[in-house]
Amino acid sequence: MLAHVSSAAVLGIHAAPIDVEVDIAVGLPGCHIVGLPDAGVKEGRVRIRGALENSGFKLPPRRITVNLAPADLRKDGASFDVPIAVGMLCAAGELEPAALEASVFVGELALDGAVRPVRGVLPIAAWARALGRRRLFVPRGNASEAAVVAGSCAIYPVGHLSEVVAALRGENGGEGDRGCAHAAELPSSSVAQPWLPDLEDVRGQEVARRALELAAAGGHNLLFVGPPGSGKTMLAQRLPGILPGLSFDESLETTMVYSVAGQLGGRALVTERPFRAPHHTVTTAGLVGGGPGVRPGEITLAHNGVLFLDELLEFGRSVLEALRQPIEDRSVSLVRANRTISYPSDFMLVAALNPCPCGHRGSPLRTCTCSMAAIAAYRARLSGPLLDRIDMHVEVPAVPYRELSTGARGESSAVVRQRVEATRGRQRARGMRSNARISARELDEVAALDAEGHALLEVAVERFALSARAVSRIRRVARTIADLADEAAVRAPHLAEALQFRALDRPDP
């Protein structure tokens, strides 16, 4: 007998339909799974047989063939255990084919029949809802994330294979959950989260604090340059506390990323902006994604949030160069022999580096021991094209002890966050997401320059040899400065301040 069961596989952060065909026929006893399954899917034969037997179901001693269609799409992971088991029971006559109509199944089986959580349930739930499926059977551990976009598709959380069979037979009489998280359930975006480090802990560093606020207000990339202990990492860690809250659409998209990566940790919805800070030993695949399963990397896990690269020049040159295309396109495409997977990567890049190998160049307290050749070789690890894609380069000098011990506390994150929210509101009023995402055509409309502004930029381009990309990013920062001051036009003083935040474009004295 032939049975058809609906399931889905995850490609990027989207689901693709998988038709599980199970045929039980006369022949030598055995189970064969075809349709480009990986080792994890093939090993499911052992898990499924053990789960069925320990749940009280006996399969006939016949030849069992399982086909996962379409056959040209590689299937990986253990999420097909439950649909294959349901198909076997249907083909063996334990379940009626009509009971499987308009139902989708996903889940991993343990040998005792328990259903374990799997990755990527949220994209599958969104797909099932879009196609108008009536029921979605998911592991109990994935029920909360599946219910976020359930809509008219009833979610059936199951903890054991016997519960799946009972629901299909109509023995439990229960209905699935139909829940959907709403924007009202998200924390208020105007309230800083109390567990985040507060900006008022930072003493001094007024220029760096100003740059941090501008970066948050416009979504700009930011680079801190300064000696060890000057507060570069401390400042970066306080950026999430002043960023605007996630909208529901952003939260849903971020949750999909973490669902695919298997890093939701039982949460139904990611409600705070991600802050990822990988170690400098990270590989290219770890940063941009890839590996055997083409998993999302750190830049995708930082989607709608912050990617912080501390000790930037300690990262491998090839690793840093891999950032160039994702920074521009806000997405990354991972090409493999038989497929191309695209992941979103709309993140703010914040980085920190020392001014020289010893770290003390320009410090009033310690003498730099580096030669000019060593400094040039050290800074050459950061290529010009990547530096061009960073909107602001800010020098962070060491803070004198007197200021550390007696200096007054600065503004709190909550106060700065309110200004950032107001600035982002002005950008949304223009129909734009953030100033850092303004296209070249939109830039001429919302950041048009007068004669004085053009003259200032012309002098800066000639003196500092600025590229066209650098000029565009300076204008975007100037637009944010004007927005923060609630001014409609971008004027020469705004451009002058934006130029001050290009420290590495200026020649050394």
Inter-residue contact 175 to 141 (CB < 8 Å): no
Give the phi and the psi of residue 22 in degrees, each rounded to 5.
-125, 125
User: Do residues 395 and 481 both lie within one domain?
Assistant: no
Co-location of 223 and 313 in the same domain: yes
Question: Which among 61, 96, 79 has a CA at the least distance from the CA of 15?
Answer: 79
- The DSSP string of 411-439 is --HHHHHHHHHHHHHHHHHTT-S-GGG--
Q: Which of 115, 149, 169 is the last residue of a domain?
A: 169
pLDDT tens figures, 320-347:
999 999 999 999 998 877 778 899 999 9
Q: Is the peptide bond before 357 cis (omega within 30 degrees of 0)?
A: no
pLDDT band at 496 (very low <50, low <70, confident <90, very high): very high
Residue 307, phi then psi, degrees to nearest 5: -110, 115
Angle at 275 between CA 384 and CA 470, to 5 degrees: 25
Query: Are residues 211 and 265 both part of a single domain?
Result: yes
Q: Are residues 376 and 493 in the same domain?
A: no
Same domain, 75 and 12: yes
30/157 same-domain check: yes
40 in any annotated domain: yes
Residue 80 dihedral angles phi and psi, to the nearest 5°: -90, 5
Check residue 508 and give its pLDDT: 61
Q: Is the pLDDT of residue 179 over 70?
A: no
CA 17 to chain centre: 24
pLDDT 10s digits, 372-408: 999 888 888 899 899 999 999 999 988 877 777 776 7
- pLDDT for the residue 180: 47
Which CATH number is 350's domain given? Answer: 3.40.50.300
Instruction: Give the C-alpha separation, 388 to 502, whole Å.
Output: 10
* CB distance 183 to 247 below 8 Å: yes
Under 8 Å between Cβ of 216 and 236: no
- Reported in sequence order, the residue ranges of 234-300 that DSSP labels E, i.e. its strands, are 275-276, 289-290, 295-296
Shared-domain flag, residues 352 and 215: yes
Sign of dihedral through CA atoms 113, 116, 122, 127? Answer: negative
The answer on pLDDT for 196 being more than 60 is: yes
Same domain? For 163 and 205 the reply is: no
In a 10 Å sphere around its CB, with 0-12 CB exposed, 13-18 middle and 19+ buried, how is residue 508 labelled?
exposed
Please report whether residue 192 resides in a domain: no
CA–CA gap between residue 278 and residue 379 (Å, rounded): 21
Give the model's confidence band at 301: pLDDT under 50 very low, under 70 low, under 90 confident, else very high: very high
Which candidate, 117, 114, 168, places its Cα nearest to that of 139?
Answer: 117
> Judging by beta carbons within 10 Å of its beta carbon (0-12, 13-18, 19+), is residue 453 exposed, middle or buried?
buried
> Do 449 and 503 belong to one domain?
yes
Contact yes or no for 426/490 (Cβ under 8 A): no
**Same domain, residue pair 237 and 153:** no
Residue 148: pLDDT above 90?
no
Q: Which two tokens stand for residue 74?
A: 């590689």
What is the DSSP secondary-structure string of 60-115? Answer: -SSEEEEEEESTTS-B-SSTBHHHHHHHHHHHTTSS-GGGGTTEEE-BEE-TTSBE
pLDDT band of residue 494 (cuts 50, 70, 90) is very high
Provide mean pLDDT across the span 442-455.
91
pTM above the 0.85 mark? yes
Instruction: Judge if 114 and 249 occupy the same domain.
Output: no
Give the 3-state DSSP-derived string for 288-352, with helices as H, strands as E and coil as C: HEECCCCEECHHHHCCCCEEEECCHHHCCHHHHHCCHHHHHHCEEEEECCCCEEEEECCCEEEEE
- Each residue of 463-482: pLDDT tens digit? 998 999 999 999 999 999 99
Question: How many domains is the chain partitioned into structurally?
Answer: 3
157-to-93, 107, 332, 498 alpha-carbon distances in Å: 24, 10, 33, 53
Q: Give the separation between CA 186 and CA 174, rounded to whole angstroms.
A: 29
Q: What is the residue range of 506's domain?
A: 438-509
Query: Which CATH number do you get for residue 33?
Result: 3.30.230.10
Per the DSSP assignment, residues forming a β-bridge with 66 are 22, 33
Residue 184 lies in a domain: no
Per-residue pLDDT at 175:
55
Distance CA 1, CA 24 (A): 5
- Is residue 425, in this structure, part of any structural domain at all? no
Phi, psi (degrees; rounded to nearest 5) at 273: -70, 135
CA–CA separation, 310 and 230 (whole Å)? 13
Q: Look at residue 416 and tell me if it is in a domain.
A: no
- Find the helix packing angle between 451-464 and 468-484, rounded to 10°: 130
Split at pLDDT 50, 70, 90, the class of 187 is very low
Which of 255, 249, 24, 241 lies closest to 123, judged by CA? 255
Instruction: Report yes or no on 164 lying in a domain.
Output: yes
Q: Is the pLDDT of residue 207 over 70?
A: yes
Q: How far is CA 72 from the centre of its chain?
A: 28
Average pLDDT over residues 193-217: 87
131 with 249, same domain: the answer is no
Whether residue 506 lies inside any domain: the answer is yes
pLDDT (tens digit per residue) in 28-84: 888 999 999 989 899 999 999 999 999 999 888 899 999 999 998 888 889 999 999
**How high is the pLDDT of residue 498?**
95
Task: Classify residue 421: in a domain, yes or no.
Answer: no
Q: What gap in Å lies between CA 464 and CA 354, rounded to an integer?
A: 22
pLDDT of residue 359: 86
